[in-house]
Amino acid sequence: MAAAETGLEGVGATAPPRPDAGTQRAELLPLLGAALRPGEAWFLIDSRWFKQWKKYVGFDSWDLYHVGEPNLFPGPIDNSGLFADSEAQTLKEHLIDELDYVLVPTEAWNKLVNWYGCIEGQQPIVRKVVEYGLFVKHCKVEVYLLELKLCQNSDPANLVSSYFSKADTVATIEKEMRKLFNIPTDQEIRLWSRYMSNTYEQLSKLDSTIQDAGLYQGQVVLIEVKNEDGTWPRQSSLAKSSTATRSLTTSSKSPASSCSSVVASSTITNGDSNNSYGLNCSSLGKGGSSYSCNSYNNRESPPQTQPGLCGLSNLGNTCFMNSALQCLSNTPPLTDYFLEDKYEAEINQENPLGMRGEIAEAYAELIKQMWSGRHSHVAPRMFKTQVGRFAPQFSGYQQQDSQELLAFLLDGLHEDLNRVKKKPYLELKDANGRPDVVVAKEAWENHQLRNDSIIVDIFHGLFKSTLVCPKCSKVSVTFDPFCYLTLPLPLKKDRPMDVFLVFADPQCRPTQYRVVVPMMGAVSDLCDALSKLSGIPAENMMVTDVYNHRFHKIFQMDEGLSHIMPKDNIFVYEVCKPKEDSAECVTLSVYFREKKARQSNATPGTILYGQPLLLSIPKHKLTLDYLYRVILERISRYVKLSLVEEFSDVSANHETCNGAGGVSEGEIEEMEHQNGEEENREKVLETDTCQSEDCIQDELGKEDLQHRKRLFSFSLVNSYGTSEINSLTTEGKVLKLSSHATLAIDWDSGTRKLLFDEQEAQAFEKHNSMFQPQKKKTTVALRDCIELFTTMETLGEHDPWYCPNCKKHQQATKKFDLWSLPRILVVHLKRFSYNRYWRDKLDTVVDFPIRDLNMSEFVCDPAASPYIYDLIAVSNHYGGMGVGHYTAYAKNQLNGKWYYFDDSSVSPASEEQIVTKAAYVLFYQRRDGEAKRDPSPCTSVELTSEECDGMDTN
């Protein structure tokens, strides 16, 4: 790997030549499209640096001629924005692929490092490709490693954190633990994983991967060294206590009839619990006997608890799964089906779309544990492992979506329990003017020919979809089954934004404001709102995104606010017009840099610090001396000039301001990045002085003599501040810098430490708007969401419909209606919204009824009987996008009371607590009376009783 362009210094003479933009594109294009292969190493790159590189070489699709922007030289690879701790270089939590970082294969990384180098001191962020899934193999880069807490059996309180890939084996853990605790390789050891305070499991398969072993984030792994007399320390301690242990590779071989012989040493196969698990073989039928024999009891039996009031342990960001499972567990017809072992006769092991019945069996086992009445909580490890085998997206320990898991689980249970062994081929037919009731009956019958399970019986309903061509007025009507309703929420029309206003007056501290702007507004709307609060005219403002002490982006007034993410640091600079109206100004970005002597050689490296400046200076006054005096005045609030006698009189009668509006990102005209190239010096800095080496050295000498007492020196740099283009040393001459050039003012460490007041430089004021209470959240009724769902809409230009009459795609109008509803109606409130730049959660309070939800008015089947529903469960999400916590409210079917499920904790709840802004997925049960009386959607057509029975299961 070639020497990196460390800090902000240039590449040394030994660095290989960097190919031109076209060659870089050609070499990296096939590499970036490479497929993931298990075991390969891929590298993370901060997306901001990568986007800058793409613009520089013309990689973007909008760059039709692939000419690139040579003024946007990206400089060394800089991943500092990905680190929560720059010293330890630990990754921030909840980083998002493509949004925060990009992944590149090893060969692409090596090329980029050879061409650009890396910031000094930064280690590459390299991760392995891991394969997930049992039947459908799925590869992904394991960005976040698994943290395990390692300890010795002799000192279990001394936990040492270590990070592993899920593809690492148990042998890798053993090797690391031997190294950590200085255990010789010839000493015999055993590894144990701890799940609860008194429950351990032996890790005896050394070739098993960490993923297959079921180890989770933060789990404790203990190493036990064999005694000299051949005994094991834990063996003797277990004889004196009832600490539960079990082997990962062993299980009881006792027949079901001998449960009593092993019940004294049992634990829960689907998880772990502090409570005992002493089910008799007959307590839950055949399903009960199969797993009670493989379990281990703790010291004493707990008191009997209410069946169903069983928490689920959080295995590491698995609250989303626990929330969904509690809702399903409290769905009476589904839970009764599994508790009564009806599923056993309907398991479909031949279904190619199913999971060989394993999901159904794992779910059944978990439900039986939760409803045994013997556990306050269980740990659903085996269930999660099974889900991860078939749905790789749920195999890790990152936060996921409870609704997405719910959708997978309902589909997985359906296919595992599908009564149809061989699905017939069916051709879809359009209505073609036929009555709705005929087309609906046909659609439902066709659906049941391929899909017939307890999930269809309980959860499936029927949509009516109507499309109308805007050209030929062709009407297409289809009926489609659904398993849950995804209802849109009325979008917020505006959003609050916290921004900093940097005043033109250098003695004024920046002030933080909270403004309310249109959700889909422009940067000009932000300036208008800020103008009303601050009194600064909107036309005198420039909006910037400051990132790592540099300007990541300078926005134009007509750019959309959707480009600005909530995490962006937005600084708005006040602009003042020059006193001479005819004077033409040059806008300059100014970065603070500190020179640091490198240990390896005398060449100084540099780092950015402080808040960047924006200066707008009349072209005819742009000399180094004038620039120096202007900057001194701008920074006089936090640079202690009084300490230095030489700088007692530094104020300048200048005509300057700190910015100009409407500047696009990084537009540094005629600026090239190549260090020392004569032609680029001429382009960037046009002066009347001689450009020969002798003349430059002479100027440097004069500079040192004349201004050796200056606080800082000037350099012309790229827009990232990571590569030096030229030193500005010419005295007395007007600098012909291009507009929007970027300058660095270089300080030595001693001067910065002595004069630069870090605390004052970072200080800011808070405007009253930051303390005003937020506007009260509006409440939306559930019926409003349903009406919005059934409202006619026009398809987008990127989502057209193919009209069979016109023989082309058209932006048709589309309308959804509800034709029939199921016994259990699952309502998904679409709180999360995504677009290219914006990811947001809508925290609107949806007012939904606890009982008496009348859906009849929304059902368009004229022959349908009333649909009256009562709420039975709610999945809640607290927090924002990609983060937060899931819980559930559910009504126990045995006592009719509401409870709050928060992972392993279960507590009583009241109906008044249930309706909150956190409600995410609602479960409604149709009343038995209506379910019995409700005729099928096909009752207006003459049918046999058998045909109608099929529809009654909705």
Per-residue CA distances from 698 to 136, 228, 622, 680, 726 (Å): 71, 80, 22, 20, 16
- DSSP result, 260-274: HHHGGG---TTS--S
Q: Which of 118, 319, 527, 803 does the annotation list as catalytic?
A: 319
CA dihedral sign of residues 206, 210, 212, 216:
positive
- Whether 38 and 130 have beta carbons less than 8 Å apart is answered as yes
How many C-beta atoms surround the C-beta of residue 611 within 10 A?
Answer: 17
Between CA 713 and CA 724 the distance in angstroms is: 13
How many C-beta atoms surround the C-beta of residue 400 within 10 A?
Answer: 20
Q: Which residues contact 16 (CB under 8 A, 6 or more apart)?
A: 2, 114, 115
Q: Does the active-site annotation cover 319?
A: yes
Bridge partner list, 573:
502, 542
Region at 837 (left for phi over 0; alpha for psi -120 to 50; beta for the rest): alpha
CB-count burial class (<10 Å; 0-12, 13-18, 19+) for 17: exposed
- DSSP result, 625-682: HHHHHHHHHHTTTTB-GGG-GGGSS-------BS--SSPPTT--TT----TT-HHHHH
Q: Does the active-site annotation cover 695?
A: no
How many C-beta atoms surround the C-beta of residue 642 within 10 A?
Answer: 10
Per-residue CA distances from 268 to 220, 326, 380, 401 (Å): 19, 18, 9, 27
- Whether 277 and 267 have beta carbons less than 8 Å apart is answered as yes
Between CA 751 and CA 749 the distance in angstroms is: 6
List the 604-618 sheet strands across, edge first: 604-618, 585-597, 742-748, 713-717, 724-727
Per-residue CA distances from 814 to 419, 434, 809, 903 (Å): 34, 19, 14, 41
Three-class DSSP category at 595: strand
And the tokens for 927?
A: 């009343």
Q: Which of 94, 767, 885, 948 does the annotation list as catalytic?
A: 885
User: Which residues are marked as active site?
Assistant: 319, 885
